[in-house]
Amino acid sequence: MLDKKSPLPMYYQIEEDIKQKIDSAIYSERETIPSERELSEQYEVSRMTVRQAVTNLVNEGYLYREKGKGTFVAEKKIEQPLQGMTSFTEDMKQRGMNSSSKLLDFTIIPPPADIKRKLSLEEERQVYEIHRIRYADHQPMAVERTFIPVALVPGMQEKDVYGSIYEYIEKNHDYTIHKATQMIEATIADEEQAELLDIVPAAAILHIERTSLLQDGTPFEVVKSSYRADRYKFISEIHRS
């Protein structure tokens, strides 16, 4: 059943096996799966190891537990929203569109007050400001301004940001983005936006501002994006309990 010599941990192998059994309807929706004690006999591991696997699947939404009754298979997600955070490039890929960019401006500046605050910067620190038009299937989709502290990514040049900034950074540094705070609002296109996005002035714009944090909480970037509302909807999943 399980490969005890595999470098993959037992709990992970159990997770994959249970997910596969859900997919193939061996465990069906709204039905219980075997109890933790039964599973620990089947897989020949301790109950705590089974529990670790089941707990992870509960956190990911595949299963849910009811005290005294058992562990049940949750109903399948109807529509899969893009899970978590994605770059523009990844986002478009998931939507089945190809993406490209046009660099309008690449400068190093002292940060404006709101950026300085959002990036928790000291007085004399500088930031990159990268101003781009983002295309999806060769049509304008968004205009985007990205602010990144120079101290975090020293030596970045214009040629490095023609494609995905994340790709460049992942090649050259070991940063892991952990989470982000997003602010989403609706506005009306001004003349500059209208021209850059090839829409009429006064058309609707979906404005998304994101502040990304690394694992240790260091603010890494502020991205201000203005999307064409006729082409873009923002989809996400949120959890309560």
The residue ranges that bind a second copy (CB under 8 A) are: 29-30, 48, 59, 61, 64, 72, 74-79, 81, 84-85, 117-118, 120, 176-188, 202-207, 211, 213, 215-219, 227, 229, 232-241
| Total number of residues that touch DNA (CB under 7 A) | 25
* Total residues belonging to the chain: 241
Residue 57 interacts with which of DNA, a second copy, none, CB < 5 to 8 Å by class:
none
d(CA 72, CA 60): 13
Site for DNA in 80-109 (CB under 7 A): none
> In the complex, what is the shortest distance from the CB of residue 157 to a second copy, in angstroms, rounded to a whole number?
26
Q: How far is the CB of 218 from DNA (least distance, A)?
A: 17
What, of a second copy, DNA, none, does residue 205 touch, CB below 5 to 8 Å by kind?
a second copy
Residue keyed to tokens 């996005």 = 197
| Structure tokens, 184 | 């989403």
> 36-43 and 47-59 are packed helices; what angle lies between their axes, rounded to 10 degrees?
120
H-helix or E-strand spanning residue 183: strand 177-188
One symbol per residue from 38 to 77: x for binding DNA (CB under 7 A), - otherwise; what is it?
x-----xxxxxx-xx------------xxxxxxx------
| The pair of three-digit structure tokens given for residue 143, joined into one six-digit string | 């205009």
Output DSSP code: residue 78. S
Give me the phi and psi of 217, to 5 degrees please: 95, -5
User: Which of a second copy, DNA, none does 29 bind, CB closer than 5 to 8 A by kind?
Assistant: a second copy
Residue 34 CA to chain centroid, in angstroms? Answer: 33
Residues that bind DNA (CB under 7 A): 9-12, 32-33, 35-38, 44-49, 51-52, 65-71
